[in-house]
Amino acid sequence: MNVLKKRFSLLLSLLQVVAILSVLSVSNPSITYAAEGDGTLPASPTLTTADQTVNTIYLRIKGTATPGDEIFAERDPEDYFYGMANRETGAFDMVVLLEPNRLNKFSIYAVNSVGVKSKPRMLNITHKPVEQDQTPPNAPTLATSDQTTNADYIRVKGTTAPGLGILVENRLEQFVGIANKDTGAFEVIVPLELNAVNRLSVYAVSAAGVKSGPVTLIISQIISDQNIKGVTNPADKAVPHGTSFSQLGLPAEVTVTLDNNTTAQIPVIWAASSYNGNTAGAYTLTGTLHTLPKGISNIDGLTAQVKVLVGKPAASNDAALSGIKVNDTGLSGFNKDTLAYNVELPSGTTAVPNVTAVSADAKATVVITPAAGLPGTTKIGVTAEDGITKQTYTINFSVKAAPQKMSASLSGTNSVMEGQSFSLIYGLQHLNDSIYAHDLLISYDPNKVEYVSSESLINGLKIVSEKGIQEKGLRILAASLGEDGAVKTDSDLLKLNFKAKYVSASTQTSISLSNAAVSNGDGVETKLEDVFLGVQITHKVVDVVDKTALNSAIAGTQTAHDAAVEGTGVGQYPAGAKAKLMAAIEAAEAVAGNASATQQQVDQATAKLNEALQVFKDSVLTRIPGDLNGDGKITVGDLAIAVSYYGKDSTDPQWDTYKIADLNGDGIIDIVDLAAIARKIFNLID
């Protein structure tokens, strides 16, 4: 019976596409399942049918499992229903008959090709019928007739009322199906008892579970073994280098040809011992045929074979270096991922260093292009084994600058006006020792410049002596007082003060520091190179300024000032007017006496003085103060005019008219002005 199930599983995979579902139900099975192969449990089915209560006598159980697994719905240890998962999708759809008026507890499990059962899924279906017609349906009409066959199953076909259940009994075994709900056609696959006469009783079953009368079908099964006479080997496979055995994707079954020229699919186990995916070459793998269905034998022990061609390893794309040496010394800071390096060579180096390099991949190519000279760049080109991937490493060589020689400096202005004072600064640069003493000879042309003085610019450095040297200039001795005063870094040290002499024309002169020497604390002297500084002395050309008009204006204004009398009478000037005019005269005299005054300044001073004189003349009194109506006397009429101007001030647009009433000159017509007029009326003032 176990062999029958294996053969039947091959047939059911074809029936997944048949419109009328055929399902197997077996009562009191005599088969048991024992693990073959590695005994690994298959995956449990996944159910899409849920626990429920129904009133029909049959139910479709649907779900998915591993493609090709057999599916069993076990209600009692002695009562289960059979189906198969689709070989491509793993979907299954099986019909079970329910025990009426009770809870039907099903254990759903899968069985793989070597007979190993999965863990079950539980499904609880309660049958609770409704009041239904108990009239037996008409017996089905069979399209399948009595016959003799060597097949291990029979397709029972026919028609009945649409939607009725179909029950086929073969001794103690029962097989069920459902008639098409539109046409009433049905097809039930019934496994046959081998080498025996199978009496099949076929019934139609109503929704109430009432059976029709039986239709008998007699099938005689005669079987004889068919030997495998040939194996169709899989096509050769070409795989990349490094493909493991599990990655080959070898088929789980092969096609065999039997003595009767029919074919069958037989499971195969491939031997992996001769395969090495990390070594290029051709491998012939042998597959052993196993789990032969009943009725098929392999007397000659035929095996399957497949040829696997492992390719050569891909060419490396590694274009990195594992090390660089410069003059046989490892390059400091080398990293295979760092492509550019800077190397400073000792001062005085003239030869380009020898560079060697080692590639990380021995099959990569390394080409070194030395620098043309120093400073310069050595290039290391690396081409990977694949000939495509490339990298270039560069080493930029520079030469450390030689220490600079200690030198003196003379800095300052290079352009002065004649008669102008200026200063130069003496300093030291590029010191490589501590300096304690300085002997300096400052040379200059005494006809063009005059030495004034010198002063130290740093603490601790003192001028010990200054001495003029005929026709050579000035010699200065300076010394540092103690170690703290020693000159240790580049510094400005002395300030030399000069004055440019007056010259008849602009001229160029030179001031130099020559024959200078400095000494460290051990008395070791260092001669300094001479330094020069050119100075342009500019002759000042004095412009002729005409002050005639200014002097004339001063004289005329002074005369007007001296002749004027301050008072309150007609022809007199207000108090303070002469003082204002004198201030203007003094300002003009200051410009006239300034030898450096420009013509523009003189002209401006003349204009201002003339303006001040005109203001002074305009201030002369032409009427008696308080005589607002100009009748030559002060009366109540004048007071009335002042009253009408009361409150007006200098901000008023008509102030020129109103200001004659502002007797005290404070810029507003108020009670003070009215009182002053009143006093004049009563002759209270002079």
Q: Is residue 563 part of a domain?
A: yes
Q: What is the pLDDT of residues 232-246, one digit of tens each?
A: 999 999 999 999 999
- What's the whole-number mean pLDDT along residues 228-232? 94
pLDDT at 19 over 80: no
Let me know whether 346 and 415 are in one domain. Answer: no
Closest CA to 589 of 564, 559, 617, 609: 609
Let me know whether 365 and 451 are in one domain. Answer: no
What confidence score (pLDDT) does residue 631 get?
78
98 Rama class: left (phi>0) / alpha (psi -120 to 50) / beta: beta
Q: Is residue 315 part of a domain?
A: no
Q: What is the pLDDT of residues 153-204, one digit of tens each?
A: 899 999 999 989 999 999 888 888 889 999 999 999 899 887 789 999 999 9
Closest CA to 103 of 39, 59, 154, 46: 59
Calpha distance 152→196 (Å, rounded): 11
Closest CA to 357 of 337, 338, 380, 376: 380
DSSP characters for 82-97? EEE--TTT-EEEEEEE
Contacts of 309 (CB under 8 A, 6+ apart): 236, 237, 238, 239, 281, 282, 283
- What's the whole-number mean pLDDT along residues 616-633? 79
DSSP class of 261: S
Contacts of 610 (CB under 8 A, 6+ apart): 553, 557
Contacts of 95 (CB under 8 A, 6+ apart): 21, 23, 58, 59, 60, 61, 81, 165, 176, 177, 178
Tokens of 645: 């101007």
Contacts of 38 (CB under 8 A, 6+ apart): none
Calpha distance 624→647 (Å, rounded): 22
Tokens of 492: 């400005």
Burial 618-654 (b: 16+ CB within 10 A, else e): ebebeebbbbbeeeeebeeebbebbeebeebeeeeee
- What's the whole-number mean pLDDT along residues 613-629? 80
Q: Is residue 202 part of a domain?
A: yes
DSSP class of 15: G
- What's the whole-number mean pLDDT along residues 368-395? 95
Let me know whether 338 and 232 are in one domain. Answer: no
Let me know whether 20 and 111 are in one domain. Answer: yes
Let me know whether 7 and 99 are in one domain. Answer: yes
What confidence score (pLDDT) does residue 29 get?
37
- 410 in Cβ contact with 533 (< 8 Å): yes
pLDDT at 10 over 80: no
What confidence score (pLDDT) does residue 30 get?
35
DSSP bridge pairs for 421: 499
Please tell me the total count of domains within the chain. Answer: 7
Return the H-helix or E-strand segment holding 12: helix 2-12
pLDDT at 572 over 90: no
- Of 285, 310, 335, the residue that ends a domain is 310
What confidence score (pLDDT) does residue 444 get?
92
- 348 in Cβ contact with 402 (< 8 Å): yes
Q: In a 3-state reduction of DSSP, which class is residue 573? A: strand
What confidence score (pLDDT) does residue 492 get?
94
Calpha distance 475→468 (Å, rounded): 6
CATH code of residue 87: 2.60.40.10
Tokens of 95: 């019909």
What confidence score (pLDDT) does residue 39 get?
55
Calpha distance 62→239 (Å, rounded): 40
Closest CA to 443 of 505, 498, 502: 498
- 528 in Cβ contact with 516 (< 8 Å): yes
Calpha distance 299→671 (Å, rounded): 153
Higher-confidence residue of 223 and 159: namely 159
Closest CA to 316 of 375, 241, 229: 241
Return the top range by mean pLDDT from 37-51, 490-504, 628-642.
490-504
pLDDT at 113 over 70: yes
Q: Is residue 630 part of a domain?
A: no
What confidence score (pLDDT) does residue 395 get?
96
Q: Is residue 631 part of a domain?
A: no
Let me know whether 19 and 119 are in one domain. Answer: yes
pLDDT at 45 over 50: yes
Tokens of 288: 């052993």
Q: Is residue 445 part of a domain?
A: yes
CATH code of residue 432: 2.60.40.680
Let me know whether 195 and 249 are in one domain. Answer: no
Q: Is residue 16 part of a domain?
A: yes
- 142 in Cβ contact with 157 (< 8 Å): yes
Q: Is residue 624 part of a domain?
A: no
Cβ-based burial of 674 (10 A; exposed 0-12, middle 13-18, buried ≥19): middle
Q: What is the pLDDT of residues 407-450, one digit of tens each?
A: 999 999 999 999 999 999 999 999 888 999 999 999 999 999 99
pLDDT at 560 over 80: yes
Contacts of 148 (CB under 8 A, 6+ apart): 219, 220, 221, 222
Let me know whether 242 and 199 are in one domain. Answer: no
Tokens of 636: 């109540």
Calpha distance 594→616 (Å, rounded): 26
What confidence score (pLDDT) does residue 543 get?
66
Average pLDDT value over all residues in the chain: 86
Contacts of 424 (CB under 8 A, 6+ apart): 410, 411, 412, 495, 496, 498, 511, 533
Tokens of 637: 């009429």
What confidence score (pLDDT) does residue 635 get?
87
Higher-confidence residue of 209 and 431: namely 431
Q: In a 3-state reduction of DSSP, which class is residue 411? A: strand
pLDDT at 4 over 70: no
Q: What is the pLDDT of residues 71-98, one digit of tens each?
A: 999 987 777 888 889 989 999 998 888 8
pLDDT-derived band at 685, boundaries 50, 70, 90: very low
Share of the chain above pLDDT 70, in %: 92
Let me know whether 232 and 216 are in one domain. Answer: no
pLDDT-derived band at 470, boundaries 50, 70, 90: low
Let me know whether 460 and 517 are in one domain. Answer: yes
Let me know whether 669 and 589 are in one domain. Answer: no
Q: What is the pLDDT of residues 491-529, one digit of tens each?
A: 999 999 999 998 889 999 999 998 899 999 899 999 999
- Of 587, 618, 649, the residue that ends a domain is 618
pLDDT at 35 over 70: no
Let me know whether 75 and 104 are in one domain. Answer: yes
CATH code of residue 566: 1.20.1270.90
Q: Residue 431 belongs to what domain range?
A: 407-538
Q: What is the pLDDT of residues 272-317, one digit of tens each?
A: 988 999 999 999 999 999 888 877 889 899 999 999 999 988 888 9
Q: According to DSSP H, which parts of 24-176 are helical? A: none
pLDDT at 340 over 60: yes
Tokens of 165: 């259940």
Calpha distance 426→518 (Å, rounded): 13
CA 7 to chain centre: 64
- Of 399, 428, 456, the residue that ends a domain is 399
